Structure 1
Amino acid sequence: MITLRQLIFLCLLFLFQVAIFGWIEWRWGARRIEWRKVLLADLTAVLFFALVVRQAAGYLNGWTGIYGPWPAAIGSWPLPVRLVLYLLVADFGAYWMHRLVHLKPLWRVHRWHHSPTHMYWLAGSRTSILQQAIFNLPYIFASPILGVSPFWLANALFFFYATTNGWMHLNVTWRLRGLDWILVTPQSHHIHHSDDPLHYGSNFGVLLSIWDRMFRTFTSPKDLSPDSLRFGIGEKVPVARLAIGL
């Protein structure tokens, strides 16, 4: 059950994203968005994530989560070092979880995320219950690295990852060719959402793009025009099944 404090935090986070990402897309928007057709569905997905998905996935992870057998000595390392190590380990695992849910046996878990035929910061909020439970696993595995940490760190990490999710789905004209050597950028992640079969196995990174480069799944946006991309899954599935991941 979500608490009042958590609800206030989520509302403030959402308002922050509306202000920052909304202004960025208003100033540098790449594609025209038909707001009347998409906004209600996307806002509903946000509410569903906040009120249902996080809690249901957390319950499932109580049965499936596995904590990594990290040496106790890591707990004595400075917090910045532990935080960097946590981010690297969790992101490496998230890359492989992302590849996993694109395999045919698990695709239905992830297809709600790919169902929008539009792309902007809020479109990435569609996350099924089963997808969230699977994507939580690498972060649970890496969590002992942080050990005893300041009370604010959990909220800071949630804020960071929620902002990262909005960032990678941004509808912008920016061509961040140097940055995408290291980080996932909107242009590179939009290729991942493309409905072109040539792009199905591309750009699985969540935070860092280095894993895609290491394992040869990176498709560079430098030779692609944003206008050439189309999105969606090309099939009609009941929303309830999409939201659960069945």
Structure 2
Amino acid sequence: MALAEWALPKRKRTLPQGRRWLTNWGIVVLDAVLVRFVMPILPIGLALYVADNGWGLLNWLAVPSWLSILIAFVLLDFAIWLQHLISHIVPIFWRLHQVHHADRDIDVSTALRFHPIEILLSLLYKFAWIAAIGAPALAVFAFEAVLNAAALFNHANVRLPLKLDRVLRLVLVTPDMHRVHHSVSPVETNSNYGFNLSIWDRMFGTYIAQPDAGHEDMKIGLNAYQSEKPGQLLWSILLPFRNR
């Protein structure tokens, strides 16, 4: 996706790429270290434990394995959509999530720019859904792979042909669809919460097809932080603890 951004960029960058990438990838390193130290268990490991102990809805029902995998995958996708919605409407979670939105450019690195505390809370949330669903390990593995790949895809600053975009977004969240969500406009920020399947935003009325200002002219980030500070690592890590 980084190569695609270089070959077919959608927007001109606001801040220098090198500085932003040092910050965004620095946050990724902090996330990885903290998660490995505090919570070494992985979602797939939990799924295996859940299956061994017969926990969760799908383990209680006589559901064929292929159907169980499909149901779990779709429910986990909905869970992530719901988590994203909650992170916008609950103030304490928004304090953490605004680190992701403060980025004044949106590209492949933005997909991984999440505060370490939000990453830990996200894991706990995902663990609860895996246990409640009784998600098979194969479904969790597939979901994690698809979710991460989809996030890199739909955050990319890449220009897709409009016809291709219209077809893809019938099922999947495209870069143009998700870019609307990173607009400074509150109405647009509170839309298009999906990361993978586009059905949830259409189903719950949070879908906006295009930004009012157009993709090339729309302002990215948060109105309160239109400066070079979101490109700084320490500032980004401390952002949830500021009073504004």
TM-score, with structure 1 as normaliser: 0.74
Change (3 A) 1:90 1:154: closer
Equivalent in 20, 24, 28 of residue 8 of structure 2: 28
Higher relative contact order (CA 8 A, sep 6+): 2
Tell whether 2:108 aligns with 1:121. yes
Tell whether 2:25 aligns with 1:43. yes
Report if the CA contact (8 A) 1:188-1:203 is conserved: yes
Q: Alignment partner of 1:226: what SS?
A: coil
Q: Which residue of 2 aligns with 1:199?
A: 188
Per-residue deviation at 1:117?
A: 0.2
Per-residue deviation at 1:218?
A: 0.3
Q: Alignment partner of 1:82: what SS?
A: helix
Name the aligned partner's letter for residue 101 of structure 1: S
> How do 1:198-237 and structure 2 match up within 5 A?
198-221=187-210, 225-233=214-222, 234-235=224-225
Aligned equivalents of 1:217, 1:124: Cα separation in 2:
20
Report if the CA contact (8 A) 1:121-1:167 is conserved: yes
Change (3 A) 1:245 1:209: farther
Per-residue deviation at 1:73?
A: 4.5
Q: Identity across aligned pairs (percent)?
A: 24
Per-residue deviation at 1:47?
A: 1.3
Report if the CA contact (8 A) 2:73-2:140 is conserved: no
Aligned equivalents of 1:222, 1:177: Cα separation in 2:
15
Name the aligned partner's letter for residue 9 of structure 2: G
Q: Which residue of 2 aligns with 1:133?
A: 120
Change (3 A) 1:244 1:182: farther
Aligned equivalents of 1:104, 1:149: Cα separation in 2:
31
CA-based RMSD: 3.1
Tell whether 2:161 aligns with 1:179. no
Aligned equivalents of 2:210, 2:73: Cα separation in 1:
25
Change (3 A) 1:211 1:245: farther
Aligned equivalents of 2:79, 2:159: Cα separation in 1:
30
Q: Work out the number of aligned pairs and report it.
A: 217
Change (3 A) 1:37 1:147: closer
Equivalent in 34, 57, 76 of residue 90 of structure 1: 76
Tell whether 2:90 aligns with 1:110. no
Aligned equivalents of 1:90, 1:148: Cα separation in 2:
11
Q: Alignment partner of 2:145: what SS?
A: helix
Report if the CA contact (8 A) 2:99-2:237 is conserved: no
Aligned equivalents of 2:212, 2:237: Cα separation in 1:
38
